[in-house]
Amino acid sequence: MISKTMQDAINEQINKELYSSYLYLSMSASFASRNLPGFSKWLSIQADEERGHGMRLYDHLIDRGGCVELKAIAAPATDWLDNLKTFKEVQAHEAEVTASINALYELANKEKDYPAQVMLQWFITEQVEEEKNAAEIVQQLELLDARGTAVLMLDHQLGKRG
C-alpha cells in the first residue's frame, strides 16, 4: 500500500497534469478562434495527452490501494494572441512540470517507494520529449517573417500531428 506522503504528492501531480490539459485547451481555443486550425489541433492533442498523464498517476494510486483526491483546477489565462509568447509559455510550463516530476521522483527515492520510482521513470523520459517539442516550435516561430506566410506554413505542419 502506498504511503500517505506519496499519495498526497501524487494527487498534487494529478492536479498539475489536469491544469496542463486546461492550459493547452485554452491556448487551442484561441488559435481555433483565429482560424489557425493546425496550431489549435496540435494543442488540443497536447491537452488530451496531459489528461492521459493525469490518468497514469490516477491509475497508479488506485492500483496501490491509494485514494485519488481531485482538487480544484485553476483557470488558465485566455490571452494567447501572440503566437511566439504562447509557445514560450508552453516551454516554460513544461520546464516547471519537469521540475515537479523530478521532485516527485526524489520523494519516491526518499520514501523507498520502488513502484512509484518505476512508474515515474516513464514521466522523466516523457518530459525530455515534451521540452524538446516545445523548444522546436519556439525556435521555428522565432524564424518566421513578419508577413505571416510562414505562420500559415507552420500551421499546416502542426496540423499533421496524428
**17 touches ligand FEO (CB under 6 A):** yes
d(CA 46, CA 121) in angstroms, rounded, equals 20
Task: Judge contact between 48 and 56, C-beta under 8 A.
Answer: no
**20 touches ligand FEO (CB under 6 A):** yes
What is the total count of residues that contact ligand FEO (CB under 6 A)?
7
Shortest approach of ligand FEO to residue 38 CB, angstroms? 19
Closest to ligand FEO by CB, 4 or 136: 136
The three grid cell numbers given for residue 156, joined into one nine-digit string: 499546416
Restricted to residues 31-90, the positions that interact with ligand FEO (CB under 6 A) are: 50, 53
**CA separation, residue 120 to residues 66, 76, 96, 142 (Å):** 16, 26, 16, 33
Restricted to residues 119-138, the positions that interact with ligand FEO (CB under 6 A) are: 130
DSSP structure string for 111-146: TT-HHHHHHHHHHHHHHHHHHHHHHHHHHHHHT--T
Shortest approach of ligand FEO to residue 150 CB, angstroms? 26
Question: What is the binding site for ligand FEO (CB under 6 A)?
Answer: 17, 20, 50, 53, 94, 97, 130
